[in-house]
Structure 1
Amino acid sequence: MAALCDRFLTEYAEHHCKPSTRKGYEIVVRTCIKPKLGPRKIVDISRVEIVAFHHGMRDRPYMANRAVSILSKMFNLAEDWGMRKDGANPARRIKKFKEEEKKRYLSDDEQARLGHVLAEALETGQETPYVVSAIYLLMLTGCRLGEILTLQWDYVTARHLELPDSKTGRRRIPLPREAYDVIMSLPRVVGNPYVILGESDEGHLINLQKPWRRIKAKAGIDDVRMHDLRHTYASVAVMSGIDPFLLKEIMGHKNLQTTLRYSHFADEAVQKAAGSVASRLAGAMRRSVVDQPKLRVVS
């Protein structure tokens, strides 16, 4: 199994998966699959063993489900490579654990605090302009972290980010004026194609997590992940009345169902609007009652 893991990563993942996907595969293989199943013979692995492997990771449902999905891919390839007989994938149809989706969105007050901390960090030089700009761009575009960190000047136009490749393939992302101005304010380094630079003049910023931890601590939003900035963008878009089909294209979601996860924000906006109308009408009716002259009863 250890040899199958290695071949899966080098012959399959290396040539058919995006870098972020490959990295995720490598982590699961190294930390979960190899330690438990590495010494076992490929032909000896049974469905019962995979079920037990999955159940043994029940305290980590997300990782358990990913591990079984990867194992299923590996066993399919093992059949293609003649290592197991056809139709004998022991990782098929394993009942997955329910995964609680982490939903965190910045409130208006939290957005204001984050903006204040970013402005202060830029003014005092506590963080580089590239770090501050990267976080601004995550908020203003709804892009994924990797899309911002690997952004190149050649991809930037006056109205769009033209990404030749992303998690969902080629993307054309709308570039609002505010985000465009952030990009144009950054110094360019001759010979370096990237927009968001790291400590050196070569390549791009690799690790935004460390400065993000400092920034979010000062803003009092310690539980916020960088990916939650993308969630915040989507939630604000829905509350602003943007059509889900348009938002799907902006966010680069593969299917509409992913976008519809934010539909409850539309419900909240409708509820708030309805409440505002009812409050205004009720106020008008109360005033009319107060202003109406009292009727005199004639006996």
Structure 2
Amino acid sequence: MKLTKRAIDAINAPASRTMVWDDDLPGFGLRIEASGRKTFICRYRFGSVRRQVTIGRYGVVTPDAARQEAKRILWAVAQGEDPASERDRKRKAATLGDLIEQFLEEHGQKLKPATREDYARALRTYVVPALGHLKAEQVSAADLNRVHLSLADRPYRANRVMAYLGSVYGWAARQGHVPRGFNPASDIQKFREAGRERYLTGDELKRLGDALHEAETVGLPWTIRAHGETSKHVPKNGPQRVVYPVYVTGAIRLLLLTGCRLGEILNLRWEEVDLDRGFLWLTDSKTGRKGVILSEAACDLLRSLPRVGAYVIPGQTPDRPRHDLKKPWDQIRTAAGLDGVRLHDLRHTHASIGAASGLGLPIVGKLLGHRSSLTTQRYAHLADDPVRRASNIISKQIAEAVGPKSTGARTESEGND
């Protein structure tokens, strides 16, 4: 029997479930229940296993549409696919929220703690609330673009969120959680990011030095974040000052003197400090193991710090490193009039002074531990390179010819007197 509308309508309800197979398309059939319900199916063999896919109920799906779907299924089988297994996998597929948590639990172990923490914070804050309930394979580029656009006022953060999602989908594909090549985050166009480099001027460095000295001696004024004069957080006995320990001010000075990243200084162990040869032997920096050359000033600063535990900058307990410098840095930079300056800008300042002093970008790159010379190119405009020297030579000769004379010149007012 060929399964047409007329033929199907002529079939009466059987005493028990019955299967009727199409004569023209092997594997395409109709399942008929004792209740009279009729459902299209497609049966095939995958290896030595007999598999079956339910296409849809007759009346909802027409015979012609069901036949086309059966042909598609049988074609996929001929190509080595298992449509029934694929349908089961999709039915059991994890949501995007589940996938993110599994990624953080499994792949997160391969990330540095700070990196894993940023992944978790970004994905749980911006992605999970908006799209976490969707099946991971159902998430489209349009869905992700809406999340991306919602962070338009923070372009750097928006781009990082999409990059992190791209990593999640890449990992999921390698683990078989989503099909190979499925990564909706790869279709998101990034926001343009303004340059984030900020270098301290000589005057700003002096103000920072004054603020650090004040912070570790007489203390900085305690700023109140609570609102209203009756707030219980307002001090009863007038202005109060906060004196910061030498480990806080020392860490900030080390960032400037070494050009190291914040995490490298906060997690620095005394066993990694070689004052005799003037080196830091970092075992776990962002770019892997590396040595950092210590200047005499940096060595003197390290010698001045008391050793109370394994870490150069200890936390609340000597056997643990300090977690961050956010609160003290906020207050110190405010006292120095450096609002908006980040701790990472101290690393940029270290590099900019080296580049502007004519040390050469390769040397600056080695001091910073850059793996690629391209990373150091951001300081190229500061370098005292041959082009700058040529400009100075040319300008000097021109200025000698057309520049203002040091003697004998009269102002217009003098000539009119």
Distance of 2:295 and 2:388 partners within structure 1: 29
Match of 2:382 among 265, 271, 288: 265
Alpha carbons 1:130, 1:198 under 8 Å: kept: no
Distance of 1:118 and 1:193 partners within structure 2: 25
Distance of 1:199 and 1:276 partners within structure 2: 57
1:294 maps to which residue? none
Alpha carbons 2:358, 2:384 under 8 Å: kept: no
Which ranges of structure 2 fall in alignment gaps of 5 or more residues?
1-95, 220-242, 409-417
AA aligned to 1:54 is H
After the TM superposition, which of the residue ranges 4-13 and 77-86 deviates more from structure 2?
77-86
Say which SS state the counterpart of residue 8 (structure 1) adopts: helix
Matched, 1:165 2:281: no
How far 1:9 sits from its partner (Å)? 0.3
Match of 2:307 among 168, 188, 206: 188
How far 1:231 sits from its partner (Å)? 0.9
Which ranges of structure 1 fall in alignment gaps of 5 or more residues?
292-299
Q: Deviations over 1:223-269 (max 9, x none)?
A: 21111111111110100112212211211223222211011112699
1:154 maps to which residue? 271
Say which SS state the counterpart of residue 143 (structure 1) adopts: coil
Number of aligned residues: 288
Counterparts of 1:134-283 in structure 2, within 5 Å, are: 134-158=251-275, 159-189=278-308, 192-266=309-383, 271=388, 275=392, 278-279=395-396
Say which SS state the counterpart of residue 164 (structure 1) adopts: strand
Are the structure 2 counterparts of residues 36 and 184 from structure 1 closer, same or farther at C-alpha, using a change threshold of 3 Å?
Answer: same
The structure carrying a bigger helix percent of its residues is 1
Distance of 1:286 and 1:77 partners within structure 2: 65
Root-mean-square deviation (Å): 2.8
Distance of 2:102 and 2:195 partners within structure 1: 32
After the TM superposition, which of the residue ranges 132-141 and 87-96 deviates more from structure 2?
87-96
Match of 2:123 among 15, 29, 48: 29
After the TM superposition, which of the residue ranges 102-111 and 72-81 deviates more from structure 2?
72-81
2:191 maps to which residue? 97
Distance of 1:268 and 1:282 partners within structure 2: 21
Say which SS state the counterpart of residue 26 (structure 1) adopts: helix
| Identical amino acids, percent of aligned pairs | 41
1:88 maps to which residue? 182
Alpha carbons 1:117, 1:215 under 8 Å: kept: yes
Distance of 2:386 and 2:351 partners within structure 1: 14
Alpha carbons 2:251, 2:265 under 8 Å: kept: yes
TM-score (norm 1): 0.87
Are the structure 2 counterparts of residues 107 and 66 from structure 1 closer, same or farther at C-alpha, using a change threshold of 3 Å?
Answer: same
Are the structure 2 counterparts of residues 200 and 87 from structure 1 closer, same or farther at C-alpha, using a change threshold of 3 Å?
Answer: closer
The structure carrying a bigger strand percent of its residues is 2
How far 1:289 sits from its partner (Å)? 11
2:223 maps to which residue? none
Say which SS state the counterpart of residue 40 (structure 1) adopts: coil
Distance of 2:272 and 2:203 partners within structure 1: 33
Distance of 2:119 and 2:360 partners within structure 1: 35
AA aligned to 1:21 is T
Of structures 1 and 2, the one with the larger relative CO (CA 8 A, separation 6+) is 1
Distance of 1:194 and 1:203 partners within structure 2: 7
Q: Deviations over 1:130-177 (max 9, x none)?
A: 111111111111010111111111111121100011111001001001
TM-score (norm 2): 0.63
